[in-house]
């Protein structure tokens, strides 16, 4: 006989979005159970650069976009949570940098000048010089301008670990997920033979949402994947750098974040335009060569002769958009008791939770009494991507 469980909200997908939502609902008194078929954070989340954007990146062409408006309040909300006085208690999560930077290696182009005058960044950008520069740019040969953004960069593995702690006993490692219907209505899921009933079922599994929808015989909402080919370099001479290096276009030429390896060395994780269209088309060797060329041009004083190099392919899962454009906000689709969503970027996990909470409130979903959960097989927490590569 299968094990029968009940909960208020059943969440499928243990990335940052699902884990944040799970913790938020628990704090509001809901019984929750989060199901993960691999490792917590092991998909898109642990491959994130950890930047809590405030919108600046999305306004580099000088206009205030929907994305910059939607995301503007995210750094404040994350900071409050990190301090233990926000919507979640994220004390103990490692803050890698209290700011992210914009770095212009030469003179500012006209569109960048417009960017600094735009509403998107007014009051949130300050030029820094000398000892206030990021450590990697404090070199006599550095010739450029650097601007401090009121954003932050987190150590994502420690964030995943903390959110898993906030899940308490409500985590379940699973292999097979099937639909559970009653009188033609979806009332729960069969998870490895366990019958789990819930008032609402939420799919927040990133790329896995497409497979889950197929298993539920659903075709909507449609999903799009936007690929990246990230480069990584690890070496004894690296110093911390968290910055978008500006090029002449609307996207950063390269975005560099710095992450601690267990052996005490730093890892530079390279995204931005380097990792997009042309980078996706390159094989690993060609992408490493392109990354080496970029760093030699931008940071010629950094000795990379003993560095180790690797690349990592990432597929960002999002709701399908016309022309594969980047969605501006978190996304939530509702169909009866089923909700399907994507935060679309790490920083918007609170926005995704807002949308779910608003839907529950609108539908009058309230916490109910449930039997205590039995001991359940618990998914492990994913290790940092660079620990697997180096």
**DSSP result, 298-326:** H-TTS--TT-EEEEEEEEEEEE--GGGPP
Does 250 score more than 90 pLDDT?
A: no
| Domains of the chain (ranges, CATH numbers) | 4-45+159-222+322-389 (3.50.50.60), 98-150+225-316 (3.30.9.10)
User: Residue 329 has what pLDDT?
Assistant: 85
**For the chain, how many residues are written?**
390
CA atoms within 13 A on the CB side of 126: 8
Q: How far apart are CA 290 and CA 125, in angstroms?
A: 30
Report which secondary-structure segment, H or E, holds 71: helix 66-71
Question: Strand, helix or coil at 194?
Answer: strand
| Sheet containing strand 51-52, strands side by side | 51-52, 152-154, 95-97
User: Residue 68 has what pLDDT?
Assistant: 55
Q: Strand 32-36 relative to strand 4-12: parallel, antiparallel, unpaired?
A: parallel
pTM of full prediction above 0.85: yes
User: Residue 209 has what pLDDT?
Assistant: 96
Q: What are phi and psi of 151, to 5 degrees?
A: -120, -175
Does 149 score more than 60 pLDDT?
A: yes
pLDDT interval class at 110 (50, 70, 90) = very low
The structure tokens 């016309």 sit at 322
The structure tokens 């560099």 sit at 256
Q: What are phi and psi of 20, to 5 degrees?
A: -65, -50
Does 203 score more than 70 pLDDT?
A: yes
In DSSP terms, which residues pair with 223 in a beta bridge? 319
CB 232 within 8 A of CB 47: no
Does 113 score more than 80 pLDDT?
A: no
In DSSP terms, which residues pair with 177 in a beta bridge? 191
User: Residue 247 has what pLDDT?
Assistant: 80
Q: How far apart are CA 90 and CA 164, in angstroms?
A: 11
pLDDT interval class at 107 (50, 70, 90) = low
Does 55 score more than 80 pLDDT?
A: no
Q: What are phi and psi of 89, to 5 degrees?
A: -100, 100
- Over residues 86-103, the mean pLDDT reads 95
Share of the chain above pLDDT 90, in %: 78
Report the 10 Å Cβ neighbour count for 375.
6
Q: How far apart are CA 50 and CA 45, in angstroms?
A: 9
Q: Report which of residues 289 and 147 the model is more confident about.
A: 289
- pLDDT tens-place string over residues 285-320: 999 999 999 999 999 999 999 999 999 999 999 999
pLDDT interval class at 328 (50, 70, 90) = confident
Does 322 score more than 80 pLDDT?
A: no
Distant-in-sequence, close-in-space partners of 115: CB < 8 Å, separation ≥ 6: 56, 59, 60, 61, 62, 121
Q: How far apart are CA 200 and CA 69, in angstroms?
A: 30
| Greatest CA separation for the chain | 73
CA atoms within 13 A on the CB side of 319: 17
- Over residues 95-122, the mean pLDDT reads 67
User: Residue 111 has what pLDDT?
Assistant: 45
- Over residues 98-117, the mean pLDDT reads 67
Does 171 score more than 70 pLDDT?
A: yes
For the chain, give the mean pLDDT.
90
Report the 10 Å Cβ neighbour count for 236.
11
Q: How far apart are CA 30 and CA 369, in angstroms?
A: 9
Q: How far apart are CA 150 and CA 107, in angstroms?
A: 23
Does 66 score more than 70 pLDDT?
A: no
Which ranges of 271-384 would DSSP assign to H, the alpha helix? 277-281, 284-298, 349-362
């Amino acid at each position: 006989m299968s094990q029968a469980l009940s909960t208020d909200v059943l969440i499928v997908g243990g990335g940052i979005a699902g884990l944040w939502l799970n913790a938020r609902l628990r704090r509001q008194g809901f019984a929750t159970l989060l199901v993960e078929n691999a490792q917590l954070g092991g998909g898109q989340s642990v491959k994130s650069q950890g930047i809590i954007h405030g919108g600046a990146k999305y306004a580099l062409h000088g206009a205030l976009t929907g994305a910059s408006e939607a995301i503007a309040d995210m750094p404040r909300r994350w900071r409050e949570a990190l301090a233990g006085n926000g919507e979640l208690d994220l004390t103990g999560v490692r803050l890698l940098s209290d700011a992210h930077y914009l770095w212009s290696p030469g003179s500012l182009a006209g569109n960048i000048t417009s960017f600094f005058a735009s509403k998107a960044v007014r009051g949130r950008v300050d030029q820094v010089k000398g000892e206030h520069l990021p450590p990697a740019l404090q070199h006599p040969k550095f010739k450029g301008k650097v601007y401090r953004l009121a954003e932050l960069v987190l150590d994502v593995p420690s964030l995943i670990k903390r959110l898993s702690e906030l899940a308490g006993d409500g985590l379940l490692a699973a292999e097979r997920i099937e639909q559970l219907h009653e009188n033609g209505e979806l009332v729960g899921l069969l998870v490895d033979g366990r019958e789990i009933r819930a008032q609402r079922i939420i799919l927040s599994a990133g790329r896995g949402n497409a497979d889950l929808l197929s298993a539920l015989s659903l075709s909507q909402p449609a999903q799009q994947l936007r690929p990246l080919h990230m480069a990584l370099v690890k070496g004894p001479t690296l110093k911390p750098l968290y910055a978008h290096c500006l090029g002449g276009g609307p996207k950063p030429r390269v975005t560099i974040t710095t992450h601690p390896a267990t052996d005490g060395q730093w890892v530079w994780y390279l995204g931005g335009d380097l990792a997009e269209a042309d980078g996706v088309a390159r094989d690993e060797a060609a992408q490493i060569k392109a990354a080496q060329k970029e760093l030699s041009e931008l940071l010629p004083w950094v000795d990379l002769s003993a560095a180790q190099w690797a690349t990592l392919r990432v597929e960002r899962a999002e709701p399908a958009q016309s022309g594969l454009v980047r969605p501006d906000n978190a996304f939530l689709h509702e169909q009866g008791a089923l909700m399907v969503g994507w935060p679309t970027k790490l920083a918007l996990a609170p926005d995704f939770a807002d949308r779910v909470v608003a839907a529950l409130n609108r539908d009058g979903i309230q916490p109910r009494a449930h039997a205590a959960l039995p001991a359940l097989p618990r998914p492990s927490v994913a290790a940092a991507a660079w620990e697997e590569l180096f």
